[in-house]
Amino acid sequence: MRAETRIRFDPAGDDPAGYRSWAATLAGATGPVTDPGGNAPAATGRYTEKTSTTNEGKSIMGERMLRGSRLGAVSYESDRNTELAPRQTREYLCAKGHQFEVPFAVDAEVPTTWECKFDGSVARLVDGTEPEQKKAKPPRTHWDMLLERRSIAELEDILAERLQEVRTRRGRA
């Protein structure tokens, strides 16, 4: 069984795309670890280590590194040297007097209402138009749906039949 360690070295210290990698066999290795060109790594680089155990040429453990993260963790990406999309900031005001700003993309359609950041109530856009009220139709009850299928005369006939059947079962006929 042989243990092999792969050392990844980033000479710049912050450029993940510029990694150079090489392997060194720990068993019987002499002297400092160098890259394939014979250069010793600079002290400013970043090292990560991957260890795998091989048995007769077969890999027992995968050589992939798992990077743990938690829910709501920050992104590993950097926004350096990136241009943000153009934005517009709009103000909202809720009924309790809370005023706050929300950023939107320049080409985005700005909603007339937004949930208040402080108490969760509905906030309206400052200097915006009033939202259109939707026409609400009255709720349909079970009785309304029943009247769509049967007339009052049919319902009275069905009720009389069912009452007669119940009375016969109880022996009152």
Q: Is residue 124 scored above 60 in pLDDT?
A: yes
Q: Average of pLDDT values for 27-42?
A: 52
Single-letter amino acid, residue 103: P
Query: At residue 156, what are phi and psi to the nearest 5 degrees?
Result: -65, -40
Q: Average of pLDDT values for 135-153?
A: 93
Q: How confident is the model at residue 141 (pLDDT cuts 50, 70, 90)?
A: very high
Asked whether 92 and 104 are in contact (CB, 8 A), the reply is no
Give the C-alpha distances (Å, rounded to integers) separating 89 from 50, 60, 105, 114, 151: 47, 55, 9, 13, 59
The 10 Å CB-count burial string (b at 16+, else e) for 109-130 is eeeeebebeeeeeebbbeeeee
Q: Average of pLDDT values for 144-169?
A: 95
**Higher-confidence position of 167 and 63:** 167
Q: What is the CATH number of domain 87-125?
A: 2.20.28.270
Q: Which of helix, strand or coil describes residue 160?
A: helix
Q: Which of 31, 32, 27 is nearest to 4 (CA)?
A: 27
Q: How confident is the model at residue 108 (pLDDT cuts 50, 70, 90)?
A: very high
92-96, 109-113, 127-131, 133-137: range with lowest mean pLDDT: 127-131
Q: How confident is the model at residue 149 (pLDDT cuts 50, 70, 90)?
A: very high
97-106, pLDDT tens digit by residue?
999 999 999 9
Which tokens is 41 given? 């790594």
Distance CA 108, CA 124 (A): 17
Q: Which residues, 6+ apart, have CB-to-CB distance to 98 below 8 Å? A: 116, 117, 118, 119, 123
Distance CA 2, CA 54 (A): 6
Distance CA 88, CA 110 (A): 10
**Higher-confidence position of 95 and 34:** 95
Q: What is the pTM of this model?
A: 0.36
Q: How confident is the model at residue 18 (pLDDT cuts 50, 70, 90)?
A: very low
24-28, 46-50, 145-149: range with lowest mean pLDDT: 24-28
